[in-house]
Structure 1
């Protein structure tokens, strides 16, 4: 075995970096930086502009500020900037059914993934532009409904599919083979059972004559107000009948979102559930409920308690007044559900555990105090 000196190792590393840069261009996020381009920026290139059939605006740029009475720490943010968002109709483009990533030639369209910052965390899909693409010979426009995690699928992918369907009648929806249950269940609930005839399944990237590319937000932890309005008018209204608001006021429920069947559960949760049951809480395992059942359950909730996780995405279906208590493991805090609560006018509280991934006694006492 040859052992290099430190200086020799540094020279070899510099040489490899030089070769990589010379062959591929600057590297960003484990990819050649020149491969990731904003479509609008790259539209100045004749070879890219030839692929753009239409750009349809769907949301204007805006700044959203939430006025919250409670004094909050800096990591719970109440202000966000949302850039304008479009739908792009492209000619002769390629797309992945697994990630929604779209590309023209060797250029990945940044809007199809949100931002370079987001794609840097997609280590398992960065190879997709290198895979052989199957040509799909159909005249209708195509949009991909990729199976993101539940939070991102509900608050990003599904709204974009609804916008594409409303803007381009007859659009076909491409899904990967064997998508998660919530994807098919949610699409059927939102679009109706007849929409299944417009589903196309594939396991590999496809090259299509007309591709609809929704523009994804570069900060997905902030849900735009228009998205919540769209989900409530186009999805929830089909599940919760008119006049149910009065029934909800009479029979409001208190629910705890259990993660005991999740691979990212917090230790101590069984005791937390038992203590909440004693004061009238119901325990929900969201993964066991249909999409419509989750909408109904959260519509009726007046208090929602849960550790940080996908189940709290269903706050989109709750009605004010509603109190939300979110439990964070130590050293992991993300304010996406705080933002969701502020957007809906809910009373948001949070509890941080002191002992890593365990709901300790102090956290349990704090939760009980917050819901009493």
Structure 2
């Protein structure tokens, strides 16, 4: 961590401590008044003067899936998507680490999705306290921040593609170092000369013309229009939908989390039993971006505990069976939603013993897998 970032975090911790000490334990985090919708605050002259244009890119709509299987209430099949905009702004500050943009001391809510989301990101609240440098660019710029794999692929990359379609000359602000999937994903989507667009930054920058894509308030729901965009602009560069598996038949994948801090105990035994019935054990972080697209395109069955590796089911073909394993204290239906959107055969198994794949859960997984034997 760079010295300036360390100093800013310590400053934020001190301010939080002082605020709590003086005003009580219910405060001490960033006040709600400092995070506000750009459109809501656009009546204010000191906000309105920064807005050059508001450009709609997708319409508002309700999406309702009707899977053939009944699911419990926590596996949702209906979502509301508000209109998605691009905001062309002038003289605005933005962080390359999170995409958070701010005017003065007012954070633009659309740049992060919602107040709830940013308050969950406790490690970004210090960013407005970091030193800011001016960025000289004749072209408008957009930030491509390195979120985790799910959020980067389902949110950041699509928003970047919407921006490039509207502003072909746009420059892309990135941190100095990004994960492998970010660089490879950008080259896949934008071509081998994408590097010409990149501006590497060490910290927040003040920008003359900034494009802020609008982030959805509920990221667990991916707009089917985004999935179509990813297939056309990304997967289509690697493999076309409908292309048969190169091996002549589908493959069975287990997405391992044994190298993750948040893995479930008992995973080693489940992997062994799945290998015995023809599954390939997959460590997604060891594969290139293109290899992940190909493997999930070819998959006839995907098994995995809840985690970012299951994001790749977005590349799977309709009919692929997906079996997701949950700890009983944390269930989030983002991969169920992706599966419904791609017409995949989705199943879920909840472990009774918390963070362990117990024998009952293991047998249930194997039973569902057995239903798809060749």
TM-score by length of 1: 0.91
The aligned counterpart of 1:371 is 369
Aligned to 2:298: 300
Structure 1 stretch displaced more, 224-233 or 64-73: 64-73
CA distance in 2, matches of 1:75, 1:32: 31
Give the deviation of 1:351 after TM superposition.
Answer: 0.5
| Corresponding position of 1:190 | 189
Q: In structure 2, how many angstroms separate the alpha carbons of the residues matched to 1:236 and 1:31?
A: 40
CA distance in 2, matches of 1:254, 1:143: 39
Deviation at residue 250 of structure 1 after TM alignment: 3.8
Equivalent residues of 2:35, 2:106 under 8 A apart: yes
Residues 89 and 212, structure 1, Cα contact 8 Å, conserved in 2: yes
Distance 2:249 2:237 in 1: 21
- Structure 2 counterpart of 1:315, from 292, 309, 313: 313
Query: Partner of 1:325 in structure 2?
Result: 323
The residue aligned with 1:43 is 42
Residues 70 and 29 (structure 1 numbering): CA distance in 2 closer, same or farther, change over 3 Å?
Answer: farther
1:252 matched to 2:258: no
Is this contact kept in 1: 2:19–2:28, CA < 8 A?
Answer: no
Q: Could you say which residue in structure 1 is the equivalent of 2:72?
A: 73
Task: Report the counterpart of residue 23 of structure 1 in structure 2.
Answer: none
Distance change in 2, residues 1:137/1:14 (3 Å):
closer
Q: 1:223 to 1:53 in 2, by over 3 A?
A: same
Structure 1 residue 283: deviation in Å?
A: 1.1
Aligned length: 353
Matches within 5 A, 1:165-244: 165-241=164-240
Q: Judge which range, 154-163 or 66-75, deviates more.
A: 66-75
Alpha carbons 1:29, 1:119 under 8 Å: kept:
no
- The equivalent residue for 1:265 is 263
- Structure 2: distance between partners of 1:156 and 1:77: 20
Q: Is the 8 A contact 1:223 1:339 kept in 2?
A: yes
CA, structure 1 residues 248+108, in 2 after alignment: closer, same or farther (shift >3 Å)? same
2:319–2:343 CA contact under 8 A, matched in 1: yes
Check whether the contact 1:258–1:285 (CA below 8 A) recurs between aligned residues: yes
* Rounded Cα–Cα distance in structure 2 between residues aligned with 1:113 and 1:129: 14
Q: What residue is the counterpart of 1:17 in the other structure?
A: 23
- 2:365 and 2:294 map into 1 onto residues whose CA distance is 24
Question: Could you say if the C-alpha distance between residues 15 and 150 of structure 1 is closer, same or farther in structure 2, counting changes exceeding 3 Å?
Answer: closer
* Root-mean-square deviation (Å): 1.9
Which runs of 5 or more residues in structure 2 are unaligned?
1-17
Partner of 1:158: 157
Q: Deviations over 1:218-251 (max 9, x none)?
A: 0000000111000000000000157x62346941
What is the rounded CA distance, in whole Å, between the counterparts of 2:127 and 2:211 in structure 1? 19
Tell me if the contact between 2:245 and 2:297 (Cα under 8 Å) persists in the aligned partners: no
Distance 2:193 2:273 in 1: 45
Q: Which residue of 2 aligns with 1:101?
A: 100
What is the CA distance between 1:15 and its match in structure 2? 9.1
In the alignment, is the contact (CA less than 8 A) between 2:252 and 2:280 conserved in 1?
yes
Which of 345, 348, 351 is the equivalent residue of 1:353? 351
Deviates more, 1:66-75 or 1:96-105: 66-75
Contact 2:90 2:209 in 1 (8 A): yes
Is the 1:327–1:352 contact (alpha carbons within 8 Å) kept by the matching residues of 2?
yes
Give distance in 2, aligned partners of 1:222 and 1:14. Answer: 35
**TM-fit CA distance, 1:13:** 9.7
Match of 1:304, SS state, is strand
Counterpart of 1:5 in structure 2 is: none
